[in-house]
Amino acid sequence: MSIYPNPLIEQRADPFIYRHSDGYYYFIASVRSTIAWNCAALGN
């Protein structure tokens, strides 16, 4: 497991990044409200 000094999002339980066959990356995490993010490249 790697430790990154600049996390994508702080204080989210169960963070997970998934690359779908559609070419987008999906960030999934446990939060109180429903939030869905996607992007075509991790640098976006």
Enumerate the domain spans of the chain.
11-44
Q: Which residues, at least 6 apart from 41, have a Cβ–Cβ distance to it below 8 Å?
A: 25
State which amino acid sits at residue 7: P
Does the pLDDT of residue 35 top 70, yes or no?
no
Please say whether the beta carbons of 25 and 38 come within 8 A: yes
Rounded to two decimals, the pTM is: 0.44
Q: Check residue 38 and give its pLDDT.
A: 62
Q: Residue 8: what pLDDT? A: 64
Contact 27, 43 (CB under 8 A): no
Query: What would the pLDDT profile of 15-33 be if each residue is shown by its tens digit?
Result: 788 888 998 888 877 766 6
pLDDT at 44 over 60: no
How many angstroms separate the CA atoms of 28 and 38, rounded?
9
